Structure 1
Amino acid sequence: MDIQVLGVGEAADPSFANSSLIVAADGFRLMIDCGHSVPSALWREVPDPDAIDALYFTHHHPDHCFGLVPTLIRWTDDRRSKPLDIVTTVGGWKQLALLFQAGATDPERSLSFPLRWIETPENGTLGPFRLHTALTQHSMPNRAIRLETGGVAFAYSGDGRATPESEALFRGADLLFHECLTVEPDPVQPFHAAYSQLADFPMRLGVGEMRLYHVRTGERERLAAACAADPRVRLARPGERIVLPSVPPATGAMILS
């Protein structure tokens, strides 16, 4: 399993693209989230319009879905040909339909390739992956995702504080990406996770390694200092490539760059 990080930023981050990444295995590439500042990073890092097989949306705030229409238009301009699977909820698809309308894009007539909607399952399969999802505590429904293949597991929280269901989803994952807005909980934004709520995940949930993303602008230095207490926890970096081998070494994930 190969993880390619496109963005790690919060909604209005001036320095980093919105949080998004690509998970690949056996030639299949799944992109998770596509916020308003993600497309330029995607086009730069993955120029092939046919490279992405499916898009998964954790939820539908602007920093997680507003990049969809520009991405599809660019792929049409670049003559993408193969179908694209979009995995989201029933309510999420209705929100995406409004984006198409606002962008004057008819997904059935304006694109050079078909879109295939797949309703987000609690448990299912997608390409080579066994897929599991669970709700987090967020201001709109957000489904964290767990992908398993080749005997390894990767989990991604989307936004929101952990719930018993999402903690069960993360348990035993070789690598967990979890949003972390601040070091300590922010009472003004109660639907985002804080480091103090996540720090024990490697030990308590048996998570091999954990990357934190969606960090508030101005908090990165404090959060990096807090993470230094546990070598299994660090801030996610844009452009980072991580490989989870089929038989993970005792030291955990292998960092390529």
Structure 2
Amino acid sequence: MKIDVIGCGSALSTKLNTSAILVEDNTQCWLVDCGPTIPRALWQRKLDINQIQVIYFTHIHPDHCAGLPALLGQWRSFKRSAPLTIYCQKPQQASLEQLVSLASWPDKDWPFPITWRTIEDQFQHENWQLESAATQHEVPNRALLINNGEFSLFYSGDGRPTKSSIALMRKAQLIFQECACFDALPESSSHGDYPQSLALYKELGEKPMYLYHCWDEYREAIEQAVKQEAHLHVSDDGLVLTSAEW
């Protein structure tokens, strides 16, 4: 399995792309989230127009979905032909469908089929086994566990960890956890913080964990703090990890 960090920044970061990752093995390729800066970052990688088979949306805050019209518009312009599957929460599908319509406006026809799938607690896509869990966030967010039979990856999306999302972390070999702030946030917060992330890292047996979605003003402090831990890191745009490194 290969993970390409397309972006790791927060919603209003002036330094980094909005948070999204590309996950692939020799059978399929998924894009997880697609904020406004993600299409250009993908185009710069010169991917094959049909390479991404699935887009998974953790939630529909603009920094996680507003890039969808631009990405689909580019695929349309360059004659993509491969089918696309979009996974989302059912109540959020109508808003995403509006973004899809915007990508082709005023035309309504698409040159490639788009299939909508509802995120379930447990589901399968081809040979991948997937699980999702709610985090504590102001807009419902579904963290994701991907298991391709050999390796397992957890990606939190946004939000403060919950018992159910932590349960998924326990099953993962590699963890990406949202960590907005260096200082402790209130327990009622919609975001993770460094003290909580550090405690989780210790509790989970010091598995490889990458913190992302850090607010710009706290990123440097978090970067300095993780240097004290062997397998705790701050993610970065353009970071590429393979299963051989885990």
For 1:244, the equivalent position in structure 2 comes to: 243
CA distance in 2, matches of 1:195, 1:139: 19
The structure with more helix, counted as a fraction of residues: 2
For 1:156, the equivalent position in structure 2 comes to: 155
1:62-211 equivalences in 2 (<5 Å)? 62-102=62-102, 105=105, 109=109, 111-187=110-186, 190-206=189-205, 208-211=207-210
Tell me the CA shift for residue 99 of structure 1.
Answer: 2.3
Alignment TM-score, normalising by the size of structure 1: 0.90
| Cα deviation code 1:37-74 (max 9, x no counterpart) | 11100111243210101000000000000001110000
| Cα deviation code 1:76-111 (max 9, x no counterpart) | 1111001100001111211112324555637851x3
Counterpart of 1:112, as a letter, is: P
Alpha-carbon contact 2:85-2:114 (below 8 Å) kept: yes
Alpha-carbon contact 1:100-1:106 (below 8 Å) kept: no
Counterpart of 1:18, as a letter, is: T
For 2:50, the equivalent position in structure 1 comes to: 50
SS of 2:221's equivalent in the other structure is helix
State which drifts further: 23-32 or 130-139: 23-32
Counterpart of 2:221, as a letter, is: R
Tell me the CA shift for residue 208 of structure 1.
Answer: 2.1
Counterpart of 1:181, as a letter, is: A
SS of 1:113's equivalent in the other structure is coil
For 1:35, the equivalent position in structure 2 comes to: 35
In structure 2, do the counterparts of structure 1 residues 166 and 37 end up closer, same or farther at CA, with 3 Å as the change threshold? same
In structure 2, do the counterparts of structure 1 residues 119 and 143 end up closer, same or farther at CA, with 3 Å as the change threshold? same
Alpha-carbon contact 2:58-2:142 (below 8 Å) kept: yes
Tell me the CA shift for residue 27 of structure 1.
Answer: 3.2
State which drifts further: 58-67 or 86-95: 86-95
Q: CA RMSD in A?
A: 1.9
| Cα deviation code 1:114-138 (max 9, x no counterpart) | 1100111110112331000000000
Alpha-carbon contact 1:100-1:107 (below 8 Å) kept: no
Identify unmatched segments of 5+ residues in structure 2.
none
SS of 1:219's equivalent in the other structure is helix
Counterpart of 2:67, as a letter, is: G
Identify unmatched segments of 5+ residues in structure 1.
246-251
Tell me the CA shift for residue 206 of structure 1.
Answer: 3.5
In structure 2, do the counterparts of structure 1 residues 70 and 29 end up closer, same or farther at CA, with 3 Å as the change threshold? same
CA distance in 2, matches of 1:203, 1:186: 19
For 1:26, the equivalent position in structure 2 comes to: 26
SS of 1:146's equivalent in the other structure is strand
Aligned length: 246
For 1:248, the equivalent position in structure 2 comes to: none
Moved over 6 A (4+): none
Alpha-carbon contact 2:210-2:232 (below 8 Å) kept: yes
In structure 2, do the counterparts of structure 1 residues 136 and 99 end up closer, same or farther at CA, with 3 Å as the change threshold? same
State which drifts further: 90-99 or 129-138: 90-99
| Cα deviation code 1:166-188 (max 9, x no counterpart) | 00011141110011111123459
In structure 2, do the counterparts of structure 1 residues 102 and 50 end up closer, same or farther at CA, with 3 Å as the change threshold? closer
